[in-house]
Chain A
Amino acid sequence: KNQVEQSPQSLIILEGKNCTLQCNYTVSPFSNLRWYKQDTGRGPVSLTIMTFSENTKSNGRYTATLDADTKQSSLHITASQLSDSASYICVVSVYNTDKLIFGTGTRLQVFP
C-alpha cells in the first residue's frame, strides 16, 4: 500500500534553533517527493520538489534531503523564526500516474 508517514506529529522549538522533520514512504514506483508548508487556515505552499536523482534541495532556510534507497526524506529548518510555525507536509508522487500521496504533516510551533 502506498503510504507516507511523517514524524514527529508535532514539535515545539525556540526561535533561532534548528530542527529536522522526517518523512518515510512506501510509494512505488516513485516519481518525485515534495515538501509543503501550510499555515493555519491557508492552503499548502510548495517548498521543494525532488526527483529520484536529487539528494538535496534548498529553499532559503529550508533544506530537503532525499535517500531513495531507504525511502526517507528530511526537511531541515535552520535558524527558525516565529513565521515558521506551520504544518509541514511531505508528498510523494506515483510514477506515470496523476496520484499524489500526502502525509498527515508535522505541526511545528516556534516560540520566542
Chain B
Amino acid sequence: DAGITQSPRHKVTETGTPVTLRCHQTENHRYMYWYRQDPGHGLRLIHYSYGVKDTDKGEVSDGYSVSRSKTEDFLLTLESATSSQTSVYFCAISEGTSGSTDTQYFGPGTRLTVL
C-alpha cells in the first residue's frame, strides 16, 4: 500500500462521540486526501491537504475537520459522530495534484461504525 498506514483499521463508536482517524505516509508526498466509500456511491472526497497546515474542503466535508502538522500525518476528526458517518474511510497520497498524471496511492482503509 505504497507506505501508507491508517489507524485504527476498525472502530465502533456511539453517536455523539468524537472520533479521530490517522493517516501516516512514509513517501514524503505533498498531497494527502481523505475519502469515504459507501455502497452505491463512488469514492467521495472529504478534505485534502496540499502541504503542512494547508487544507481544503471536498464535496462532503460537513461534520468533518482535518489537520496536518507534519508532512507524514493527516488526521480526520469527526467532532460528534452520527450514524450517517458510518462508512469506510480511505486516505490517499500523491506527489502532484489530481489534475496531474501523478498516481494517487490509497491506504488500506478504516471501517467506522457509528451506533
Contacts and interface: CB of A to CB of B under 8 A. Distances in A.
Contacts of A95: 99
Contacts of A89: 42-43
Contacts of A105: 42
Contacts of A104: 40-42
Contacts of B41: 104
B112 to A, nearest CB: 14
A112 to B, nearest CB: 27
B45 interface: yes
Interface in B43-81: 43-45, 48, 50, 56
Given A93-B98, A98-B99, A46 B104 contact: yes
Main secondary structure of the interface of B (DSSP, over half): loop
Main secondary structure of the interface of A (DSSP, over half): strand
A1 interface: no
A98 B42 contact: no
Contact of B43 (A44, A94, A97, A98): A44
B106 interface: yes
Interface in A32-78: 32, 34, 41-46, 49, 51
B101 A102 contact: no
Interface in B82-112: 90, 92, 97-99, 101, 103-109
A105 B43 CA distance: 10
A101 interface: yes
Contacts of B104: 34, 46, 100
Interface of A: 4, 31-32, 34, 41-46, 49, 51, 89, 91, 93-105
